[in-house]
Amino acid sequence: MVVEFEQYVKKIMPRPIKERLKKSPFFQKIINKIRKKDLRLNSETYQKLLEQEAKEWSSFDREKLKDEWCSHLEVSKYINFLCSGSPYEAWWDYLKKEYNHFEKAASLGAGDLTVEEILLVKDLCGQIDCFDIAEEAMKKGKENSRFPDRLNIHVTDCNFIELPPNHYDFILVHHAFHHLQNLEHVADEIKKSLKPGGIFALNDFIGESYFQWSDEKIKLANEIIKSFPDIDGDPNFKSPCVRPSLSELKNFSPFEAIRSQEILDVLKKRFTCIKQVKYGGLLYVTIQGKASKFKDIPEMNSFIRLLCVIDSLCEKLGLLQAFTFSIYKKV
């Protein structure tokens, strides 16, 4: 049975993004415009994109998180188990057990400092330098913090970040690396800024760039979605998985998943990976945006647990990966 499943599921391995996008010259033109290597801070195009990105994340409504795929309790327990070995302990609990305390820490793409606050509550970190383009989000996070004197905010475009050498014991990038275009520069800065033996933790989306799912992946996701129950008054609950169109991408933050599928390769060339789990490849394309509806149907918990098992099997086969929790060490 496993062999048959493996033979089938291999068909859903994502093809290189360029093979799909080259069929759409207009779409390719837009992507190339954003991803050009010669973009600099004085570029008018880049500045407009940057302003849009800052506006998007400075006004982010956390109420939207209730429908995030990972907000479902069963999914959260599944991810926790992969990261920490316990369904009731998150990745930060794992770091606390393994390393106890980092006095000097940095967080790139810190946003509203929600995660950074948790790290301080658990005393995993002493001082945290927080970097992000979203100034208002960071200011609000610091104002609401119980430890404002331990949070140092820096309004920075992380694509061009400059960090002090041999300075930090720990650097975190939490769901922000997939918003960066200059992956190589950022990775080099992280490596430069860690002390010898320093730890870099990544919790991020590493799936297909620009969410350009393969036809086979979409087909598998939609077969699963068809099995969802009907909910009166909510036709969107069984809405199919689709590949985002250009018009839809315009509504995203402009750097969303810009080079996401390249992240792990860039880091592999610069760090020693000491722990890595991958997950979410199937769950994301089936229940994203629908999690709160599943919470309203208690009998669906078993169904979600089954999806988690299939998601895990896909990960073990090296297929359908979308997210990772990885720990790297500077040597």
- What is the DSSP code string of 210-270? GG---HHHHHHHHHHHTTSPP-TT-GGGGPPP-PPPHHHHTTS-TTTTSSGGGHHHHHHTT
For the stretch 121-174, pLDDT in tens is 999 999 999 999 999 999 999 999 999 999 999 999 999 999 999 999 999 999
d(CA 76, CA 6): 26
Q: Residue range 309-316: average pLDDT?
A: 90
d(CA 95, CA 85): 12
Nearest to residue 20, comparing CAs of 247, 299, 275, 214?
Answer: 214
Per-residue model confidence (pLDDT) at position 50: 74
Per-residue model confidence (pLDDT) at position 112: 95
Could you list the beta-strand ranges (E) of 120-193.
125-132, 151-155, 168-174
Per-residue model confidence (pLDDT) at position 78: 97
Nearest to residue 268, comparing CAs of 192, 191, 193, 205?
Answer: 191
Q: Residue range 288-293: average pLDDT?
A: 88
d(CA 323, CA 205): 4
Q: What is the mean pLDDT of the chain?
A: 85
For the stretch 211-221, pLDDT in tens is 999 888 899 89
Q: Has residue 25 got a pLDDT over 70?
A: no
Per-residue model confidence (pLDDT) at position 32: 53
Q: Has residue 272 got a pLDDT over 70?
A: yes
Domain spans in the chain, listed from the N-terminal domain onward:
2-31+66-329
Q: What CATH topology corresponds to 2-31+66-329?
A: Rossmann fold (3.40.50)
Residue type, position 218, single letter: I
Show the 3-state SS of 70-114: HHCHHHHHHHHHHHHCCCCCCHHHHHHHHHCCEEEEEEECCCCCH
Q: Has residue 183 got a pLDDT over 90?
A: yes
Q: Where is pLDDT greater, at 27 or 101?
A: 101
Q: Residue range 304-311: average pLDDT?
A: 93
Per-residue model confidence (pLDDT) at position 252: 66
Q: Where is pLDDT greater, at 305 or 51?
A: 305
Identify the band that residue 43 occupies on the pLDDT scale cut at 50, 70 and 90.
low
Q: Has residue 119 got a pLDDT over 50?
A: yes
Identify the band that residue 94 occupies on the pLDDT scale cut at 50, 70 and 90.
very high
Q: Are 116 and 130 in contact (CB under 8 A)?
A: yes
Per-residue model confidence (pLDDT) at position 8: 41
Q: Where is pLDDT greater, at 66 or 207?
A: 207
Q: Residue range 87-106: average pLDDT?
A: 98
Per-residue model confidence (pLDDT) at position 80: 97
Per-residue model confidence (pLDDT) at position 294: 84
Q: Has residue 27 got a pLDDT over 90?
A: no
Q: Has residue 287 got a pLDDT over 80?
A: yes
Which of the residue ranges 86-90, 250-254, 323-327 would you say has the lowest mean pLDDT?
250-254
Q: Where is pLDDT greater, at 99 or 303?
A: 99
Of all residues in the chain, the percent with pLDDT exceeding 70 is 82
Per-residue model confidence (pLDDT) at position 298: 74
